[in-house]
Amino acid sequence: MNDLNVLSETFTKIKDYLASNEDNNIPVVKFNQPSDLSKLIDFSIAQKGVSEHEFLELMDSYLEHSVRTGNKQFLNQLYSGFNFPAFIGEVLTVLANTSMYTYEVAPVASMIETEMIRLMNSYAGYSNGDGIFVSGGSNANLVAMFSARNKIYPNGRFSGYDNNLKLKAFINEHAHYSIETAANVIGIGAKNVVKVKADENGCIIPAELEKAIKDSVANGETPFFVVATCATTLLGAYDPIDEMADICEKYGLWLHADGSFGGSVILSNQHRSLMNGIERTDSFAWNPHKLMNIPLICSVLLMKKKGSLQFNLTDINTDYIFHDIDNIEDLGKKSIQCGRRVDAVKLWFAWKYFGIQGYENRIDNLFEMAILAEEKVNQHPKLELLSPRQSFAICFRYIPAYTTDLNAFNLAVREHLRKSGKSIVNYGYIGDKLTIRLITANGELSKTDINRFFENFLTEALQIEESLKKSHVI
């Protein structure tokens, strides 16, 4: 194989791929069932390697059958979009391939990660803060809960968890499932995560939180960890951090902000009030791979107090790796990982490129697009908003003119749309109602993209409605 030739072909393929992301005739996905996909691509590894020609064909196949998350009709997940400077940062990261544990092997990346943590802490108002890039929001939540456990029970780091402590954590009933997984992983047990009632907007009710904490104390348990979700995964609701901080201060509890989805709102002067009180939290999970459109994974756990990350580890003076020779504290001493991906560099390139103002504009644009989508729902006689919009998630459904099973109907519309490749949007349940969930996560979305989505959605819905009418199912 001629590497230079493959490199030059790769460059052309990347250019073509990016151009086609803007082409409305190219579907977001060429949908195939798994059994069909395995006929289209040979996934097995053979004794003999492939030829240059076959290698190039495999590249085409991979791109052709993958979901185009950079296409503006990809409105399905909490991440989306293509971020050019971050892409360049990612390519350079892979090119220089190193691990984040020591300055010795990652001098520039260590300085970049340190600067990113400093900048992000300044947004959080953590004046003596610390932080680390982790392998995702779920991992950030895990390390936050682990840190809170080690604070209340330092001995647990050496002797293991003592069940008699009866530690309890408290979350919004709509919080992300990773908090329960974290409780499971650190030995507390998922059933010791108390789900606190939320109001009609999906925000935790502070009075209910305090009541749950009091009940727990009265039962002889030990409340230790409270999560303010910013924003919730389905409804995009922001918990009232300030009021929760009052309660946590009163009972001496660790308050963690799970901003895995919506933490980037802090970049916007206009909208950061949704996270008022963030400086009073003890830790903050912030995922630039969501609303900042950095390629996955790019996720940060910020800590209010310096030293709390190092405190989690029991033996960091490992002389075969941390030599302490470069007049700098190696970042590996703060991480529960040893080898760690370089995820800060792509963020740094993107932030350098867009600047502080550029990123603020991108977040403001996400809000504008969400407001527009909400208006489109409210203006259409057959669309129903299932929950008032809180931020970047619009939850709605289509009501056909005939009585039918609305959940089945809306699921059918979503599935037809997905398989057509015209637009991809997700769904979930609010109570027993299936809701379509549209997310405005791509900072480059425009009015045309939102309009196109609703055209696609309504065309599909009308077609299904008509065909059901003809076949007398409704």
Ligand X SMILES: Cc1ncc(COP(=O)(O)O)c(C=O)c1O
Enumerate binding residues for ligand X (CB under 6 A): 78, 136-138, 141, 176, 178, 229, 233, 258, 260-261, 287, 299
Alpha-carbon torsion angle 448, 449, 450, 453, nearest 10: 120
Report the residue number, 421 or 428, with the smaller CB distance to ligand X: 428
Rounded least distance, CB 266 to ligand X, Å? 15
Nearest approach in angstroms of CB 92 to ligand X is 23
Give me the residue whose beta carbon is nearest to ligand X.
Answer: 137
Phi, psi of 249, deg, nearest 5: -65, -40
- What's the min distance (Å) between Cβ of 261 and ligand X? 4
Tell me which DSSP letter residue 204 carries.
B
Residue placing its CB nearer to ligand X in the complex, 254 or 261: 261
Element (H, E) at 171: strand 167-172
What's the burial of 363, exposed, middle or buried (CB within 10 Å: 0-12/13-18/19+)?
Answer: buried
Q: How far is the CB of 287 from ligand X (least distance, A)?
A: 5
Q: Tell me if residue 393 falls in helix, strand or coil.
A: strand
Q: Which is nearer to ligand X, 78 or 244 (CB)?
A: 78
Encoding tokens for residue 155? 């001995």
Closest to 449 measured CA to CA, from 420, 418, 413, 422: 422
Looking at the Cβ atoms of 188 and 383, the one nearer to ligand X is 188
**Nearest approach, Cβ of 173 to ligand X (angstroms)?**
13
Measured from the CB atom, is 261 or 396 closer to ligand X?
Answer: 261
Q: Retrieve residue 10's tokens.
A: 């790769």
Q: Is the peptide bond before 179 cis (omega within 30 degrees of 0)?
A: no
Number of Cβ atoms within 10 Å of the Cβ of 159: 9
Copy the structure tokens of residue 224. 């230790």
Instruction: CB nearer to ligand X: give 182 or 247.
Output: 182
Least separation in angstroms between CB 299 and ligand X: 5
Shorter beta-carbon distance to ligand X: residue 156 or 259: 259
Residue among 223, 229, 239, 307 nearest 261 (CA): 229
Minimum CB–partner distance for residue 297 and ligand X (Å):
7
Residue closer to ligand X, measured from CB, 99 or 135: 135
Which residues, in sequence order, are bridge partners of residue 430?
A: 433
CB of 285 to ligand X, least distance (A): 7
Q: Which of these, 141, 147, 355, 179, lies nearest to 263 by C-alpha position?
A: 141
Judged on CB neighbours under 10 Å (0-12, 13-18, 19+), 307 is exposed
Q: Are 14 and 7 in contact (CB under 8 A)?
A: no
Distance CA 50, CA 465 (A): 49
Sheet hosting strand 193-196, strand order edge to edge: 130-134, 299-303, 283-286, 254-259, 222-229, 167-172, 193-196
Shortest approach of ligand X to residue 137 CB, angstroms? 3
Task: Please identify, using beta-carbon distances, which residue of 136 and 443 lies nearer to ligand X.
Answer: 136
CB of 175 vs ligand X, minimal distance in Å: 7
Report the nearest approach of ligand X to the CB of residue 250 (Å).
Answer: 25
Q: Which two tokens stand for residue 266?
A: 């802090």
Strands (E), 182-290: 193-196, 222-229, 254-259, 283-286
141 vs 391, beta carbon nearer ligand X: 141
Query: CA neighbours within 13 Å on the CB side: how many for 153?
Result: 23
The nearer residue to ligand X, 297 or 313, going by C-beta atoms, is 297
